[in-house]
Each structure stands twice: as C-alpha cells, then as structure tokens.
C-alpha cells in the first residue's frame, strides 16, 4: 500500500539537544531563513578551505572520479597514523592505525559524506522506484550526519538494505 504525504504537513520535532523544529508558518520560515544565512556565512569563515572545496565539489568528485593531487594529499595526511588509548587503568602502547580518520578533524565529516554518498549512488538508491511518496517525489532514503534511514515496504526495504550492504562490502 503506497501512501503519499503532502510536504506542507511534514513537521519534525526533536526534544533532545540540539532542538530541531521545521515550522509550516511562512513568517517563521522567513525568520529561520534569514538567521540561517547569517549563521552559514559565519560558519564558512571558520572552516578549512580544503573542507569547503571538497564540500562544494562533491558532485564533481563523484561524477568524474577522484583528482590524483587530492588523493595524494589525503594519503599523505593520513599516512603513518599512530594512536594510543587511555583507559581508567592507564594507557596502551602506541599502535599503527590502518583505517579511520583523525578524531576532531574538520575534514572527517566531509570524507564520511563522500564515502556514504558514493555507496548510495552506486547502490542505485537514487534511481530506485521503491520507497514512499512525499509531495509527489519518491523517497527511499534520508541522510543526516552519520545516519541513513531507508524507507520502503517490507520486501522492498529488504532489497534496498541488501543493495547498500553489497555496495558497502565492496569498499570494506
């Protein structure tokens, strides 16, 4: 059974921090839009130029492949990573890290977004005709930060999940 949800009826409220509210009144949307413009421009001045470049060129990245000079830069940035783990009983010895990104690095979320976007595109979820209709558009996945929500009927959902699993295993 397919149901279509009109976009204007969508309202998301999350009580935990950070508080997220999508309002439907025009006045508050304009207010939110103007405050968003100021906070976005202030935020962009603080972000590393490489991060901004990767974020703005993400589509080109995925379409045309990875530029060799950027791949080399990232490889050198993460080459020879070492880590130490601190516990309640002391610290471990230093060890080499084979996978992963620097904790707290502002580039890490962008790299993760590239990775997850690559998986979703190669799994074919954007072109899949399964999912739910919202305002006339077919939606089968919602992504925010490190979370991906797949949406479909039971059998279709199983198929979507297997597509993502298979594509993820190719990169693991």
- Evaluate if residue 1 carries a pLDDT over 70: no
Query: Is residue 2 in some structural domain?
Result: no
- Degrees to nearest 5, angle at CA 146 with 82 and 133: 160
Per-residue pLDDT tens for 31-60? 444 443 333 333 333 344 455 555 555 556
- Evaluate if residue 6 carries a pLDDT over 60: no
Query: Is residue 4 in some structural domain?
Result: no
Query: Is residue 93 in some structural domain?
Result: yes
Per-residue pLDDT tens for 137-153? 888 888 877 778 888 88
What the block records as the tokens of 57 is: 């060129």
Query: Is residue 108 in some structural domain?
Result: yes
Query: Is residue 5 in some structural domain?
Result: no
Query: Is residue 46 in some structural domain?
Result: yes
How far apart are the C-alpha atoms of 159 and 143, rounded to whole Å?
Answer: 18
Domain coverage including residue 128: 26-171
Number of domains in the chain: 1
Give the list of residues 6+ apart from residue 166 with CB closer than 8 angstroms, or none: 123
The per-residue pLDDT for 93 is 92
DSSP conformational letter for 19: P
- Evaluate if residue 135 carries a pLDDT over 80: yes
Three-state secondary structure call for residue 45: coil
Per-residue pLDDT tens for 8-34? 333 333 333 333 333 333 333 344 444
How far apart are the C-alpha atoms of 167 and 70, rounded to whole Å?
Answer: 24
Per-residue pLDDT tens for 64-109? 666 677 777 777 777 787 888 888 899 999 988 777 777 777 777 7
Query: Is residue 91 in some structural domain?
Result: yes
* Better pLDDT: 61 or 85: 85
Query: Is residue 73 in some structural domain?
Result: yes
How far apart are the C-alpha atoms of 69 and 54, rounded to whole Å?
Answer: 13
**Residue among 153, 123, 116, 118 at smallest CA distance from 138:** 153
**Residue among 48, 105, 54 at smallest CA distance from 81:** 105
């Amino acid at each position: 059974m397919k149901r279509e949800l009109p976009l204007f009826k969508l309202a998301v409220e999350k009580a935990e921090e950070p508080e997220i509210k999508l309002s439907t009144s025009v006045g508050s949307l304009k207010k939110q839009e103007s405050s968003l413009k100021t906070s976005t421009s202030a935020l962009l001045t603080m972000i590393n130029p490489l991060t901004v470049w990767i974020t703005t060129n993400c589509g080109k990245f995925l379409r045309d492949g990875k530029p060799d000079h950027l791949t080399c830069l990232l490889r050198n940035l993460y080459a020879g990573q070492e880590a130490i783990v601190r516990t309640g009983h002391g610290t471990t010895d230093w060890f080499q890290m084979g996978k992963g990104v620097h904790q707290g690095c502002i580039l890490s979320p962008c790299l993760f977004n590239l990775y997850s976007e690559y998986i979703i595109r190669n799994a074919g979820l954007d072109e899949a005709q399964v999912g739910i209709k919202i305002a006339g558009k077919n939606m089968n996945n919602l992504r925010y930060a490190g979370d991906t929500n797949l949406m479909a009927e039971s059998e279709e959902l199983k198929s979507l999940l297997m597509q993502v699993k298979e594509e993820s295993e190719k990169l693991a």
